[in-house]
A and B are shown apart, each in its own frame.
Chain A
Amino acid sequence: MVVDRTATEERHVDLIFRALADRTRRDVIRRAMSGALSVSGLARLYPMSTTAVQKHVAVLEEAGLVHLTRRGRRLLVQTEIDTVAEAQVLLSEFERLWRDRLDRIGDLLAQPENGDR
C-alpha cells in the first residue's frame, strides 16, 4: 500500500495524523468551525499557556486542518471545512461508481471464458 505514494503526500498524511492524535487539537478543530475563535480565546478554554495553544494551532495549520486570519491584534482560527465537505461528497460518488464496477467485474469473472479455469 505504499507503492506509489509520493514523499510529499506521505508527509502530508503524517502531518494530519500527528495533528489529530492529540485530544486538545481535535477539540480545537471542533470549536474552530465557526471561525470566530481567537488563539487567546482558545487558550482560556484549556489548562495551558497561550504559547502551548499556539503550538497546537501551528501543528493544525501545518496539516492544512485550520487556517489563521489576523483581525487587529487577534489571530482567528478557522477549520478548513470546505475541503472536508467537498471531499466527502466526491468520495460517496466514487464509492458507488466503484461498487458498480466491481459488480460488473464479478459478473465477467463468473462467465466461462476460453476454458481458462
Chain B
Amino acid sequence: MTVIGVDRDPIARTLTIVAEFDKPAERVWQVWADPRQLERWWGPPTYPATVVDHDLSEGGRVTYYMTGPNGEKLHAWWRITSVDPPRSLTFEEGNAGDSGPNDDPPTTSIKVRLVETPEKTTMTITCKFAPTADKAVPGAGTESGMRLAVGQIDAILATTTVS
C-alpha cells in the first residue's frame, strides 16, 4: 500500500487521500463489503471495531462499536447513500451514545472510489466534515485559532492559483 496523494481543504472542509494497492478492485472492495474484514482495519488496535449491522445497499445502515482499553464502547453508524460495487461507496457517518445520540464529533460524509488498472487499484477517499454547530461562541479559542489560521490562510492563498 502506498499513499500517493493527500489534499486538505480547510475551506471546503474536505480531506482527500489516495492510496494504491497491488490487488484487483474486487479484492480491495471486500475490505468494505465484508464486515469481518472491515473490523480488522476500521478501528485502531486500542479501539477495535465490532460490526453489528452491515447492509451495504443504498439507504442501508452499518452499525458498529469500538471497544476501548477500559471496556468502554463507542457506538456509531453509517447510512449508505450510494453503492456501486466494486467502484464506489458513499455514506454518512455519525456517532451514537449508549442512551441516544450525542453531539461530540461532527458528522462526516465519506466517498470511496476504486479505480482498477492492470497492475493495481487506486482507492480515493474523500471525507467532508460538517461545520461545527456552535462556532458562534465569541472568544472561545479565537487566539490560538488566529495563530493557526494566519499561516494556513497564507498557505491557501499562496497555492490557490485559479486563473
Contacts and interface: CB of A to CB of B under 8 A. Distances in A.
Dominant secondary structure at the B interface = mixed
A34 B70 CA distance: 45
Contacts of B15: 91, 94-95, 98
Contacts of A13: 12
A117 B81 CA distance: 31
A95 B17 contact: yes
Contacts of A39: none
A26 interface: yes
Interface of B: 1, 3, 6, 8-13, 15, 17, 19, 21, 23, 27-28, 31, 37, 40-42, 44, 81-82, 88, 90, 106, 109, 111, 113, 123-129, 131-132, 135, 141-142, 144-146, 148-150, 152-154, 156-157, 160, 162-163
A88 B148 contact: yes
Given A21-B163, A101-B42, A104-B41, A30 B10 contact: no
A45 interface: no
A24 to B, nearest CB: 12
B27 A116 contact: yes
Nearest to A101: B41
A33 B146 contact: yes
Interface of A: 1, 3-4, 9, 12-13, 16-18, 20-21, 26, 29-30, 33, 65, 79, 81-92, 94-95, 98-109, 116-117
Contacts, number: 139
Contacts of A117: 23, 27
Contact of A4 (B82, B127, B129): B82
Contact of B17 (A3, A4, A20, A98): A98
Contacts of B17: 95, 98-99, 102
Contacts of A65: 11
A3 B146 contact: no
A49 B85 CA distance: 56
B154 to A, nearest CB: 7
